[in-house]
Amino acid sequence: MSDKVIITAALTGAVTPKDINEHIPLTPEEIAQDAYKCWKAGASVVHLHMRDGEGKGSMNLDLFRRTIELLRANKDCDVVLCCTSSGAYPTGSSEERMAHFKTIPEIEMGSYDAGTFNWGCDVVFDNTPQFLRDLAKCYQDYDVKPEIEIFDMGMLGNTKYYLKTGVLHPPIYCQFVLGVLGGMEATVDNLQYLVRHMPEGAKWSAFGIGKDHLPIMYAALALGADGIRVGLEDNVMYARGVKATNVMLVERAVRVVKEFGKEIATPAEARGILGIKQLIR
């Protein structure tokens, strides 16, 4: 068990509108600026979604490219870049979901949502077996580390199957996502169950949606997580009646990790933990 904890900042997501929280970054300029501030505050990894001109989730290649160019223009910033593969609803074609990984070499990690389910009992979050095989090959071909997002036990079962059949390759990194309607509820019992059934040698992180972000953060640290995730993609409130910013959520995570007696992983240390090649500037 490492004393280092990876903090991931998930900045914007694909759904939550800015009128709910005006601090949600939408443009490449806003996203890059927030990512830089979160890195300065202690984030090891930034998880990037894009929004179109109407504020809706987008997989537009130029938006990813522009955001990453702006962020990497900060020569002191070595934050790990993790991009979504599912940033639009409906999810779109496989090629649209993979194009940025194939054309933007700065991307180091990518989300790998290991199954399909009814998100919020509203839309189908579509990750077909063929897409998951294609995405795994894309990540292998372009040296992208999969962030395997697990919303329920079935997805963990899928992950084990893909490991067994060689679609995925160890060591893996699981991101447990708890509290989405249609997936597992955000309870400590559920998190413990998932952790107990992880593949041997897996690294892992976790987060809860909305009001459940703090209990899952505390439980993840108690269970020995390699990482925790915070950010406006998952939770727009800092406390009752207080709107959050991404930086506020990262700063609180840093304090919690330190109070727990752990240390914050630098981006370089996070790359070492996750098996990602070190950044050369």
Classify each residue of 63-98 as buried b or exposed e, where b means 16 or more C-beta atoms within 10 Å of its C-beta: bbbbbbebbbeeeebbbbbbbbbbbbbebeebebbb
Q: What is the pLDDT of residue 280?
A: 81
Residues 6 or more apart whose Cβ sits within 8 Å of residue 136: 112, 146, 162, 167, 168
| Residues 186, 171: Cα–Cα separation, whole Å | 26
Q: Provide the pLDDT confidence category of residue 279 given band limits of 50, 70 and 90.
A: confident
Least confident of 135-139, 257-261, 277-281: 277-281
Beta bridge partner(s), residue 57:
51
| pLDDT digit string, tens, across residues 61-114 | 999 999 999 999 999 999 999 999 999 877 789 999 999 999 999 999 999 999
What is the pLDDT averaged over residues 119-125?
88
| pLDDT digit string, tens, across residues 1-21 | 579 999 999 999 999 999 999
What is the pLDDT averaged over residues 188-217?
97
Q: Is 232:11 a contact under the CB 8 Å cutoff?
A: yes
Write out the H or E segment, with its range, that includes residue 50: strand 50-51
Where do the domains of the chain lie, and which CATH numbers do they carry? 4-273 (3.20.20.70)
Q: What is the pLDDT of residue 1?
A: 55
**What secondary structure, in 3-state letters, does 186-200 show?**
CCHHHHHHHHHCCCC
What is the pLDDT averaged over residues 28-52?
98
Percentage of residues in the chain having pLDDT higher than 90 = 94
Q: Provide the pLDDT confidence category of residue 58 given band limits of 50, 70 and 90.
A: very high
Mean pLDDT across the chain, nearest whole number?
A: 96
> Per the structure block, which two tokens stand in for 216?
């899952």
143: left (phi over 0), alpha (psi -120 to 50) or beta: left
| Residues 272, 279: Cα–Cα separation, whole Å | 11
- How far from each other are the two terminal CA atoms of the chain, in whole angstroms? 30
Q: What is the pLDDT of residue 91?
A: 79
Q: What is the pLDDT of residue 212?
A: 96
The better pLDDT of the pair 1, 269 is held by 269
**Omega within 30 of 0 (cis) for the link into 105:** no
pTM of the shown model: 0.96
Q: Is 82:147 a contact under the CB 8 Å cutoff?
A: yes
